[in-house]
Amino acid sequence: MIRLLQRDLRLAIRAGGGFGLGLAFFLIIAVLVPFGVGPDSATLRLIAPGILWVGALLACLLSLDRIFQLDFEDGSLDLLATAPIPLEGVVVAKAAAHWITTGLPLTLAAPVLGVMLNLSPAGYVWLVSSLALGTPALSMIGAFGAALTVGLKRGGLLLSLLVLPLYVPTLIFGAECVRRGAGGLATATPLLLLSGITLATLALLPFAAAAALRINLR
């Protein structure tokens, strides 16, 4: 699993379509929103938690179709399916590689973009905390969706339609955590719910994704 993780990280860095593309998209959203809603600082402070979370979510979508598709096209996925490592382990390794190259850079860049959206100073720690807890769930859900659509030509749009409804609970509780933290309110409830969602996806979806891969590889 470690070697597979290292391989996927090297491929993502060489291809240049991992964290660079996601960060660029995240930056574009943060830049365009003030032009769309106006420069009023109170308005930007009010919508900043939701906009930052929506931007991170959409940025994660950009590279989901590459989680399994490239390996499927060159035959590597068939070899991985017959390797001694369980297919569930393959799913976890690829989801981890996606998070390291996409979710982690977005989490680290979010405070900088929060400044552009006039996020309240009290909300920065909760922004980073919620993204650190929620983005692993986005990567695992994305890996499940990628497993369902592997082998389909032009399946990127279908993949987005499949995973976006599954992303909604993570988006709701992540944005609510930042909103409450920025307003000086208690954040324990949304933070615990966000942690529960992430733990549930990490516990259940590797098996579901592996089952979908076995079906598609028959």
Q: What is the per-residue pLDDT across 46-66, written as a single tens digit (0 to 9) for each? A: 999 999 999 999 999 888 888
Residue 194 sits at the vertex; the CA angle it makes with 190 and 198, to the nearest 5 degrees, is: 170
At residue 16, the pLDDT reads: 55
At residue 76, the pLDDT reads: 80
Contacts of 82 (CB under 8 A, 6+ apart): none
- Alpha-carbon distance of 109 to 128, in angstroms, equals 9
- Alpha-carbon distance of 23 to 20, in angstroms, equals 5
At residue 17, the pLDDT reads: 52
- With beta carbons less than 8 A apart as the criterion, state whether 119 and 52 touch: yes
pTM of the model: 0.91
At residue 169, the pLDDT reads: 96
Per residue in 94-138, pLDDT (tens digit) is 999 899 989 999 999 999 999 989 999 999 999 999 999 999 999
- What is the residue extent of each domain of the chain? 2-217
Which region among 3-7, 137-141, 142-146 has the lowest average model confidence (pLDDT)? Answer: 3-7
At residue 216, the pLDDT reads: 82
At residue 18, the pLDDT reads: 56
What the block records as the tokens of 163 is 């995973």
At residue 3, the pLDDT reads: 74
